[in-house]
């Protein structure tokens, strides 16, 4: 009690951010030589980035839902290095499987699937700078939970305290960046329509982390 009061007296005028203490369970997906090479290829072919290591410079956090109802099914969707229906003879499509650096279960447990600065394929145009947080569920039968909301907030606080994060976005907002400097996708026809993680969920995470002063998401291009 006395310490709390002292804190008020001495630090009352400073922006005191919430504690970033966080429990993270490492549950790595396969990142073998195949996945490494496919990631390096993805960075070069889609973004024109020739790198020695499959790493990113984090500037953005993207929130998702998996639509899969269980942790097991969600994890298995990301686990293997190549897309399930990949045909290596079709060169125009990358065989790199989708994934994210983090996966949050319905009970709020946070799993780290990859090192935080290893590239994951989770958002067109922006994977070179975006850390992805996937959430188990997202359907009418299995909506995202309060525990997931709280874990997403803690995870965003943790990441934004560790890396110079400029943007916090929902996957459904990614096309707003098509004319932004961070957008590197070369193929103007390569787009998918997204709704995750829902506007309500994203708004709650944004509100709870507003002390980080993330930059506003650019206006959507009117021609789209």
Round to whole Å and give the CA distance between 20 and 109.
15
Spatial distance between the Cα atoms of 164 and 173, rounded to a whole number of angstroms? 20
* Min separation Cβ 64 and Zn ion, Å: 3
Q: Which residue is nearest to Zn ion (CB)?
A: 64
Residue closer to Zn ion (CB basis): 64 or 121: 64
Closest CA to 62 of 189, 201, 179, 210: 201
- In the complex, what is the shortest distance from the CB of residue 6 to Zn ion, in angstroms, rounded to a whole number? 45
* CA 65 to each of CA 29, 82, 194: distance values in angstroms, whole numbers, following the listed order: 18, 20, 10
For the chain, the first-to-last Cα distance in angstroms comes to: 56
Nearer to Zn ion, 81 or 138 (CB): 138
Count CB neighbours of 2 within 10 A: 6
Least Å distance, CB 171 to Zn ion, is: 4
Q: Report in angstroms how near the CB of residue 199 gets to Zn ion at its nearest.
A: 14
Closest to Zn ion by CB, 78 vs 158, is 78
Minimum CB distance to Zn ion smaller for 54 or for 197: 197
Binding site for Zn ion (CB under 5 A): 64, 171, 196
């Amino acid at each position: 009690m006395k310490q709390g009061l002292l804190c008020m007296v001495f630090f009352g005028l400073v922006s005191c951010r919430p504690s970033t203490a966080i429990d993270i369970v490492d549950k790595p997906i396969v990142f073998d030589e195949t996945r490494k090479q496919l990631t390096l290829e993805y960075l070069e072919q889609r973004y024109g980035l020739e790198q020695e290591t499959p790493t990113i410079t984090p500037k953005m956090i993207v929130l998702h839902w998996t639509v899969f109802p269980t942790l097991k099914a969600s994890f298995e969707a990301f686990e293997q290095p190549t897309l399930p229906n990949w045909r290596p003879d079709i060169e125009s499509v990358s065989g790199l499987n989708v994934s994210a650096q983090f996966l949050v279960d319905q009970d709020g447990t946070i799993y780290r699937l990859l090192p935080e600065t290893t590239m994951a394929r989770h958002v067109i145009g922006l994977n070179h700078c975006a850390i992805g947080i996937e959430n188990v569920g997202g359907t009418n039968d299995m909506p995202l939970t309060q525990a997931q909301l709280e874990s997403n907030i803690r995870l965003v606080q943790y990441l934004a305290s560790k890396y110079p994060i400029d943007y916090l976005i929902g996957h459904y907002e990614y096309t707003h960046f098509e004319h932004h400097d961070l957008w590197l996708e070369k193929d103007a026809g390569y787009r998918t329509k997204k709704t995750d993680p829902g506007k309500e969920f994203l708004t709650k995470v944004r509100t709870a982390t507003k002390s980080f002063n993330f930059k506003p998401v650019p206006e959507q291009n009117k021609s789209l």
